[in-house]
Amino acid sequence: MALEPGTTDLAPIADVVADGDVVVLTGAGISTESGIPDYRGETGSLRTHTPMTYGDFVASESGRQRYWARSHLGWRTIARALPNEGHRAVAALQARGYLNGVVTQNVDGLHQAAGARDVIELHGNLDRVICLNCPTTSAREALDRRLRAANPDFEGEATRINPDGDVDLPDSIVRTFNVVPCEACGTGVLKPDVVFFGENVPKPRVERCYRLIDDAAAMLVLGSSLTVMSGFRFVRHAAKAGKPVLIINQGVTRGDPYAAHRVNLPLGQALTELTQQL
């Protein structure tokens, strides 16, 4: 189906959302107005940044040193980020009974901070840390205190934050960083409780998303190019079941051929207008 790439008409989306039972899938585009860039937009971080892969992280101590040194600075920026109008609008739509579920590809926790409930974090959350040996989970804030203590003289400036919490740092600074092990077992490798590139989303989490879509009347995609299969498969699943797929995103998406309507607007503006129309 050919969609008008520049349409700004929200009325068709409002008509579907008004009937309720809509499952929302959000991507990095909903958090750009909170100061966290997306991966694939016009200024997306993938143009200049290579994300840490699961294989690189588990393969070498130097890879983990690189990740934690850069993420140590980047996480602080994400932790300070505040929900924007888009996040608040999703929470409002849920509170008013229009949504049957919220699924996010983001790891920033901003939907919950805005008041959304029972959010399925498809790729996890940077606020949690997991040991690859135990596997014990713990709060990122506690790890941050331990890393500060282990690196009292560590200095660096986060010149660019990425959606995965990584920042750009010179190798000379990275090599001075001390990584700490799991406190519970004493030796385990700590990893943020997020799905790295090259890592699979846990199957129970995927199945929960499929059940949400099966119980929904429609699907609304917000701020995702749907380039990666982790989110795109749910669009295909909804379309195959005959449920209308609606997309609000700045730029074309992989899901456009499956969409009944796509709006090209900034998320904060579009979702604020959408809530006003309902």
Sheet with 137-139, edge to edge strand ranges: 137-139, 124-131, 190-194
Is 141 annotated as contributing to ligand binding?
no
Nearest to 259 by CA among 229, 230, 224, 228: 224
Is 118 annotated as contributing to ligand binding?
no
Determine the Cα angle at 245 with ends 242 and 249, to 5°: 165
Is 128 annotated as contributing to ligand binding?
no
- From 111, 123, 237, 261, active-site residue: 123
DSSP string, the chain: ----TT----HHHHHHHTT--EEEEE-GGGTGGGT---SSSTT-GGGT--PPBHHHHHH-HHHHHHHHHHHHHHHHHHHH----HHHHHHHHHHHTT-EEEEEE--SS-HHHHTT--S-EETTEEEEEEEESSS--EEEHHHHHHHHHHH-TT-------B-TTS-B---HHHHTTPPP---TTTSSPPEEEEE--BT-PPPHHHHHHHHHHHHH-SEEEEES----SHHHHHHHHHHHHTT--EEEE-SS--TTGGG-SEEE-S-HHHHHHHHHHH-
Is 185 annotated as contributing to ligand binding?
yes
Is 251 annotated as contributing to ligand binding?
yes
Is 115 annotated as contributing to ligand binding?
no
Q: Please answer whether residues 188 and 132 qualify as being in contact, where contact means their C-beta atoms are separated by less than 8 angstroms.
A: yes
Is 45 annotated as contributing to ligand binding?
yes
Is 150 annotated as contributing to ligand binding?
no
Is 37 annotated as contributing to ligand binding?
yes
Is 38 annotated as contributing to ligand binding?
yes
Gyration radius of the chain over CA positions = 19
Is 101 annotated as contributing to ligand binding?
no
Is 34 annotated as contributing to ligand binding?
yes
Is 107 annotated as contributing to ligand binding?
yes
Is 108 annotated as contributing to ligand binding?
yes
Q: Please answer whether residues 23 and 244 qualify as being in contact, where contact means their C-beta atoms are separated by less than 8 angstroms.
A: no
Is 267 annotated as contributing to ligand binding?
yes
Active site residue 237: no
Is 31 annotated as contributing to ligand binding?
yes
Q: Please report, in range form, the residues annotated as the binding site.
A: 27-47, 105-108, 131, 134, 182, 185, 223-225, 249-251, 267
Binding site members for Zn(2+): 131, 134, 182, 185
- Binding site for NAD(+): which residues? 27-47, 105-108, 223-225, 249-251, 267
Active site residues: 123
